[in-house]
Amino acid sequence: MKIRLVSLHAVRRCFLSCVIALSVATSAWSQVLPLMLAGRYDGKVDPAAYWVSEKLDGVRAHWDGRRLLFRSGKPISAPAWFVEGLPPVALDGELWIGRGRFEELVGIVREQTPDDAQWRKLRFMVFDLPRHEGSFTERIVAMQALVEQAGLPWVRNIEQQRVPDRPALASLFNTVVAGGGEGLMLHRADARHMVGRSDALLKYVPWLDDEARVVAHLPGKGKFAGMLGSLLVERPDGRRFRLGSGFSDAQRRQPPAPGVLVTYRYRELTGNGLPRFPVFLRVRELP
């Protein structure tokens, strides 16, 4: 009888852990701001219809007219001087330091007490006006005027350009990637701002990548005993899979916490729609 009671308690604890994990993951996704998201450039669309910019290796930041927010909707602890002077309108952009400095950037923006000297390195690179009702071409003009009027050296527009055809786009892509950039963003010139993914905004990167929320840590075995073996992660559609490669030993000792958004890369999708050979790339955002 005693053995059966212990077993029932264990089952109850397991059930409660699963409920809590599911609640954390569901809550994390529900907090995400209703922003415009990028689809994937597949070479089929005519790039002449798009404005093209570099895909920055930064942290997405949304200015709602009063506060600077992570994509999750949680506030970014920016110094008061950094946001003073920003216009009272919604701005979508990236906090950025430079190519290949993402980990340094995350270390700065995750601090609850901002370090002024470190924040002096950052730029708020604006790429859209979520509440503007015009086309993207019209929004570019409006963004330029707003940034110029603000007159803040750390607030800039992401440079946009047009390309005539696919060979020109490929040439620009190769130049950016060879220089250490992540790839390109294509924004359809006539498109109004819309929430979610569509062909109005496309990313052109040298691999397939996506994002998922951490649900749980699965223990390692063998040489990874006592450390992380893999992350159980969840996509926005609720489907889960294990992410077990791409981690450094330091990351396995201190893995991303449940609720954190991570980026992974993969080769292709399996027949059931899950990523084949997913590899952890980086922590994308704080929970």
Q: Give the pLDDT confidence of 45-104 residue by residue, as tens digits.
A: 999 999 999 999 899 999 999 999 998 889 999 999 999 999 999 999 999 999 989 889
Name the superfamily (CATH) of residues 208-285.
Answer: Nucleic acid-binding proteins (2.40.50.140)
Q: What is the percentage of the chain residues whose pLDDT exceeds 90?
A: 67
Q: Give the pLDDT confidence of 102-132 residue by residue, as tens digits.
A: 889 989 998 999 999 999 999 999 999 999 9
Rg of the chain's alpha carbons, rounded to an integer?
21
* 135: nearest Cα among 187, 185, 192: 192
Measured between alpha carbons, how far is 129 from 71 in angstroms, rounded to an integer? Answer: 15
What number of residues does the chain have? 287
Average pLDDT over residues 135-149: 97
Mean per-residue pLDDT over the chain, rounded: 87
Measured between alpha carbons, how far is 202 from 46 in angstroms, rounded to an integer? Answer: 12
Measured between alpha carbons, how far is 173 from 100 in angstroms, rounded to an integer? Answer: 17
> What CA dihedral angle connects 78, 83, 89 and 95, to 10 degrees?
-50
pLDDT bin (cut points 50, 70, 90) of residue 6 is very low
Q: What is the DSSP string of 3-54?
A: HHHHHHHHHHHHHHHHHHHHHHHHHHHHHS---EEEEE--S-S-GGGEEEEE
Residues 34/129, Cβ–Cβ less than 8 Å: no
Q: Is the pLDDT of residue 32 over 90?
A: no
Average pLDDT over residues 136-150: 97
Q: Do domains 40-204 and 208-285 have the same CATH topology?
A: no
Q: Which of 2, 44, 55, 223 is catalytic?
A: 55
Q: What is the pLDDT of residue 35?
A: 87
> For the chain, which residues make up each domain, given as ranges?
40-204, 208-285
pLDDT bin (cut points 50, 70, 90) of residue 286 is low
Output 75-82 pairs: Cβ under 8 A, ≥24 positions apart: 76/109, 77/109, 77/111, 77/112, 77/113, 77/114, 78/109, 78/114, 78/119, 79/114, 79/116, 79/119, 81/116, 82/114, 82/119, 82/122, 82/124, 82/154
247 backbone dihedrals φ, ψ, rounded to 5°: -90, 140
Residues 173/184, Cβ–Cβ less than 8 Å: yes
Q: SS3 of 107, please? A: helix
Place of tokens 């506030």: 75
> Does the annotation count 55 as an active-site position?
yes
Q: What is the pLDDT of residue 196?
A: 87
Residues 261/72, Cβ–Cβ less than 8 Å: yes
Q: What is the pLDDT of residue 22?
A: 38
Measured between alpha carbons, how far is 73 from 33 in angstroms, rounded to an integer? Answer: 6
For domain 40-204, give the CATH number. 3.30.470.30
pLDDT bin (cut points 50, 70, 90) of residue 276 is confident
Measured between alpha carbons, how far is 88 from 161 in angstroms, rounded to an integer? Answer: 27
Residues 181/99, Cβ–Cβ less than 8 Å: yes
Average pLDDT over residues 217-246: 92
